[in-house]
Amino acid sequence: MFNEFELYEISSLLRKYNLACMKEQGYTSINFPAPSSPGITKHNERRYGITDGLLAIRLGYRIPSIEKGDESGTNATALSPDEEFTLTGGSTKPGELGKGGRNKFDKKVPAGGCSGVALKKLGYFPGETPGNPMEVQALDKESFTNSLKSDRVKRSLEKWSSCMRDNGYKYAPEPFSASNDHRFATRSVTKLEKDVATADTRCKQSSRLLTVWSAEETKIQESLIAEHQKELHEVQKQRDTTLSIIERRSGSSS
């Protein structure tokens, strides 16, 4: 539904509105974690793993830091039962609209709580707005998973694995077997990680893995879009509404 950069902007605004609402409800010292920076420079940059050879030489599989971000949310507080009630309106499960009521400060908590208030500021009315963004996430996961079942993708992964062996690195023909190497779970990037990541990008090119994989997944996505056209149309309308509100509100004090 939203790309990584839009989600970062949305999460930042939701945090801002949730904090403001909670303070109005009597919780002046509450804090929520600030969203993490996307850490990439373009949408889906690492959907198929690392592809930038120059970045691999410099950072291995690490994602470069784009910005330091807001550190005011690093000391987030655990919520008490009443704080949870004020935030959610008494919701007991994801997607459920809490009925609201009164909190311990005798403040009137609206249906959906402060979360509902924050969402409404971005044009989404829990329980009323058509278009389920989870539908898009599910379809996105489905297209990715099914693409790995493609014979063409499997053959390209075998070629990639063979190329890695030729470079002295033994990895299974699985998309992230190299980047998930436990030896790279270190605080700082090592020479080995840089060397493997560099070989990874080169082998992706020689095996045509990226070209084949992208083409196969695109075919699957087109089929899923055609099958779920009505639901996706509703989600798209909601996305357009939310983004237009963000454009007006971002950077403002509202």
Asked if residue 116 and residue 100 are part of one domain, the reply reads: yes
Residue 61 lies in a domain: no
Convert the pLDDT of each residue in 44-64 to its tens digit. 668 899 999 999 999 999 987
Q: What is the pLDDT of residue 133?
A: 63
Q: How far is CA 94 from CA 43, 87, 91, 125, 185, in A?
A: 27, 13, 8, 15, 33
Give the pLDDT band (50/70/90) at residue 191: very high
Q: How far is CA 101 from CA 52, 82, 85, 86, 97, in A?
A: 53, 11, 9, 9, 13
Q: Among residues of the chain, what percentage have pLDDT more than 70?
A: 83
Structure tokens at 28: 């002046």
Q: What is the pLDDT of residue 134?
A: 65
Asked if residue 134 and residue 108 are part of one domain, the reply reads: no
Give the domain extent around 74: 1-34+70-129
E-strand stretches of 3-57: none
Q: What is the pLDDT of residue 126?
A: 61
Q: What is the DSSP letter of 80?
A: P
Higher pLDDT, 207 or 231: 207
What is the total count of domains within the chain?
Answer: 2
Asked if residue 162 and residue 124 are part of one domain, the reply reads: no
CA dihedral of residues 126, 12, 93, 139 (deg, nearest 10) = 80
Q: Would you say the pTM of this structure is higher than 0.75?
A: no
CA dihedral of residues 236, 240, 241, 244 (deg, nearest 10) = 170
Top mean-pLDDT range of 40-49, 121-130, 216-225: 216-225
